Amino acid sequence: MKGVLKVLLVEDSDISATITKNMLQESRKYDYVEYIFELTHVYKLSEAMQALLEKYYDIILLDLNLPDSMGVQTLKLLCQYNPGIPIIILSSIDDFKLSYDTIKYGAQDYLVKGKYDMNMLIRSIYYSLERFNMLSALKQLALIDDLTGLFNRRAFMNLAEHQMKIAKRKNINVYILFCDLDGFKKINDNFGHPEGDIVLKEFADVLKESFRESDIIARYGGDEFIVLAVDVHENGQELVKNRLYQNLEKQNKNLKRPFNLTVSIGAVLHKPDSEETLYDLIDQVDALMYEQKKKKAMGIV
């Protein structure tokens, strides 16, 4: 049984769109083609962006010259808007520099209209998917913290920036929490670095249990962790933090060890109409975390 591959065609020419549609439909006749291509056709870049908000697509077929965007800029804007989908350029311009530029800026392939047939189009889709998945896997390896399995700082900055743009478009809040383990140096000094590594893994598990898959959880460095939680309402901030505290307390009770693990947290709710950058927010939550840590040292908290 053939799988279904969802294709978004961004093309302002009905004639070109019909040719592409017919090629994909014709491919259903052949057993060597593993997919049925489910095609959605839009005419403008703005319509493509709206379609990507409403539905998941496996691949994008993109004409560069559209009513609301022209040239390589069309590709750049679409890659910035949704970098997680491979893009094949379908262009009427047979130009080496243009084709090279599109590959440089993120396209997987460049096909010239009138110079490819059904087999070339299908092959390009297959190769583009495989190449994109392989590159994504390599990037993933560079973005994961080896010890905890969470994202690393670099990954968090990239993903959080993207998530904040989506949240602004959807008019929803994001909630950023900066966590620092209390007394971690003493744990390393008194029980050794292997025990310290275990503690970091355990706290990473607490974070995974406390937040949703849609939230971005990262080890920021050393014993510092950061989380971007999406769509948190003002009255839900304390609920989010309390869930984390409760899960950590539960873990302390379940694990037999000569110390309890505690954490200091700084948190800020970012509203979609705010002009603060991600760096501004990180500075704020970092300062709030240290303020809480100082109060603990003074016995105030």
Tens digits of residue pLDDT in 203-216:
999 999 999 988 99
| Residue 300: per-residue pLDDT | 77
Residues of the chain with CATH 3.30.70.270: 153-297
Is 283 annotated in the active site? no
Backbone angles phi, psi at 190, to 5 degrees: -85, -30
Give me the mean pLDDT over the 163-192 stretch.
Answer: 93
Nearest by Cα to 94 from 76, 109, 110: 110
Question: Does domain 3-140 sit in CATH 3.40.50.2300?
Answer: yes
| Residue 298: per-residue pLDDT | 82
Average pLDDT, the chain: 93
pLDDT tens profile 141-158: 788 898 998 999 999 998
Please tell me the distance from the alpha carbon of residue 25 to that of residue 38, in angstroms, as a whole number: 9
Report field, pTM of the whole predicted structure over 0.85:
no
Q: Is the dihedral of CA 131, 132, 137, 139 positive or negative?
A: positive
| Residue 138: per-residue pLDDT | 72
Instruction: Classify strands 87-91 and 35-42 as parallel, antiparallel or unpaired.
Output: unpaired
pLDDT tens profile 37-60: 999 999 999 999 999 999 999 999
Q: Is 152 helix (H, G, I), strand (E, B) or coil?
A: coil
| Residue 120: per-residue pLDDT | 96
**Above 70 in pLDDT, residue 11?**
yes
Q: Is 276 helix (H, G, I), strand (E, B) or coil?
A: coil
**Above 90 in pLDDT, residue 296?**
no
Please tell me the distance from the alpha carbon of residue 44 to that of residue 190, in angstroms, as a whole number: 63
Full strand arrangement of the beta sheet holding 174-181: 216-221, 224-230, 174-181, 263-270
Give me the mean pLDDT over the 96-120 stretch.
Answer: 94
Tokens encoding 121: 């189009």
| Residue 202: per-residue pLDDT | 92
- Its CATH architecture, for the domain 153-297, is 2-Layer Sandwich (3.30)
pLDDT tens profile 245-284: 999 999 998 887 888 899 999 999 999 999 999 999 999 9
Residues of the chain with CATH 3.40.50.2300: 3-140
Please tell me the distance from the alpha carbon of residue 77 to that of residue 73, in angstroms, as a whole number: 6
Identified catalytic residue from 58, 63, 180, 223? 223
Tokens encoding 176: 């950023």
* pLDDT bracket for residue 301 (50, 70, 90): low
**Above 70 in pLDDT, residue 99?**
yes
| Residue 137: per-residue pLDDT | 79
